[in-house]
Chain A
Amino acid sequence: MEQMTDKILVSADGVTLSYDGRPVVENLTFSVTPGMYLCIVGANGSGKSTLMRAITGILRPSAGTLRVGSGVTIGYLPQQSEIQRDFPASVWEVALSGCLGRVKNRLWFGFGYDKEAQNRAEKALAMLGMEHMKKRSYNELSGGQQQRVLLARALCASDDLLLLDEPVTGLDPDAAREMYAIIRRLNDSGTAILMVTHDMEAALEESSHILCLCQRHGGNGSGGQSGNTTSGRNHANFFGPTDQYRAGLASDECSCCGMEHDRKAVDPRRIIQIPGSISLGGTMEIGRAVPVYDKKRPAPGGNTSDSTPGGKGGNV
């Protein structure tokens, strides 16, 4: 794969990531090239955030090779923690701390940064329209503004590749839309984006490529699942252009992560609603309803026997 593109930012080859000795992601192969907008989707616990942590170098793969191109810097936007929300820090301090990985002198007197870092932080804040809030305290900002400051910090760290871990979680729809617009703009200016998201619609809309991690264990061990766990277990992860993925969805053939994928892909005319359950879209064959999955329960490993698709269609 490496020979095909001139520069590869991140390449994973047969990567397995384990958590407490249990594999979360298995045999994963993909690569990120400059300018790519890759969305990582998958059900809860499918290892999306774990993969992020591995790319930033926090976690080592237990098998396979995960390589970050030489000289490639990474700007990481982790999920916000409770601690941060009421943290006494100024916007300026937070943005500047993004330069920490780039500075030459690790030991430094006090909290300040050199001129170069300051210019960088200034530019990043300006790019996100936050320069007038430099002196404001981070804990006074709205959720959307806080997220923009953290994005500015990630920009300070890198303009090669941004790793965004659920950047719109907790934002109201307007703020989320704005966030997506900003990310799109950054991508247009040449920064590769790697984003973990639950927002399937946005993933299909915004991304150029999709990486779909499937749930290996066939649900969270609840008893009522017989489904097709065996085939669920063996689903390969999907990695490829978004168009291809969308096509796979439309024909209802990506069953790797359960129902969340169907949301947008299924033709609205075919969605049926069953009272009492949250409709997330199921499929209906003519004259016969297929259950709409209840969101509270883990999605069945596959579909019910009636609607069992080809099975591997989504995997390319």
Chain B
Amino acid sequence: MTIQSILASPFLTSVVIRSLIVGVLVSLCSALLGVSLVLKRYSMIGDGLSHVGFFALALCTAAGVAGAYTMEASIPIVVLAAVLILRLSRSKKIKGDAACAIVSTGAVAIGTLINNILGVRSSDVCSSLFGSASLVTLTDKDLWLSVILSALVLVWYVLCARRIFAVTFDEPFARSAGVHTERLDMMMAILTGIIIVVGMKMMGAIMISALILFPPMTAMRLTGSFRATVWVSGVVSVVSFVIGFVLACLFSLQTGATVVTVQLCVFLLFALAGRVKVRSKR
């Protein structure tokens, strides 16, 4: 069987399309959330949450939750972790980033132990860390859940865009203008947790945070306004996902790794362009 004939079969086509839809939505949402997370120096939260996602998967396996339900079961765990991490990173008592690292590495350790005790195959552990080697088969339910949750994030972002900018740029000022900054931050952390759970199967726990960090960092090489940063970040994220996804399908590579590699290339390209732009201005 050639690659073409495999792709042509109706079953696989639908698998490909489903993964593509979820991937595009996840990369769009994570890119939008990422702009504020990166600018507020909250990148650690995205990273920490993805590690908690690994723990949540292990816990689900331990609790005997059937594979089809892992997404719903993981969401509350990761959302709780999001609340916890945000609280910790805001408190002045423990250094925020260290607190984040404690939660995430602790979660990974316990998750690994659970897998260990349950005797989970190392290939399964690998796929939850690095993403599945082949395309993920998404059930109808997973697909719809992903679409609904992503839509929720997009709607929230668009409606709160002005407040998100104000809080990201200057929290004290936003508070003086009557914005509930803590509520907004919390919402951002929770939605980030949700998006991480949704995208984790495809991207893997380790690489999902790349989806949050790379697009904003890439966009910021060239943009001079917040609005442009958000737009470019979203577009870059979706385009690199599609390119990475197609490459992964064509050469049967791991989706997560391919997408992140494409993102890295785009980032380097933008960084170079940014250098040229700065130099030409002088």
Contacts and interface: CB of A to CB of B under 8 A. Distances in A.
B89 interface: no
A67 to B, nearest CB: 16
Interface stretch (B113-121, B176-184, B202-210, B250-258): B176-184
Contacts of A78: 170, 172-173, 176
Given A57-B175, A97-B166, A153-B173, A111 B159 contact: no
Nearest to B35: A88
Interface string B68-92: 0000000000000000000000000
B167 to A, nearest CB: 10
A56 B176 contact: yes
Nearest to A76: B176
Contacts of B166: 97, 100
A97 B169 contact: yes
Kindly name the residue among B162, B165, B230 whose own CB sees the greatest number of chain A CB atoms within 10 A: B162
B225 A137 contact: yes
B40 A56 contact: no
Contacts of A53: 172
Contacts of B177: 76, 98, 100-101, 157
Interface string A128-152: 0000000011011000000000100
B146 to A, nearest CB: 24
B41 interface: yes
Interface residues of B, number: 31
Interface stretch (A79-87, A203-211, A286-294): A79-87
B40 A93 contact: no
Contacts of A92: 225
Contacts of B158: 109-110
Nearest to B216: A88
Interface of A: 53, 56-58, 74, 76-78, 81, 83-84, 87-90, 92-94, 97-98, 100-101, 103, 106-111, 113, 136-137, 139-140, 150, 153-154, 157, 163
7 A-B pairs closest in CB distance: A137-B224, A101-B177, A56-B176, A90-B225, A76-B176, A78-B172, A89-B226
26 contacts: A58-B172, A76-B177, A77-B173, A78-B170, A83-B41, A88-B223, A89-B165, A90-B224, A90-B227, A93-B225, A93-B227, A94-B169, A97-B165, A97-B173, A97-B174, A101-B176, A101-B177, A103-B162, A106-B163, A108-B159, A109-B159, A111-B165, A113-B162, A137-B225, A153-B173, A157-B176
Interface of B: 39-41, 158-163, 165-166, 169-170, 172-179, 219-220, 223-230
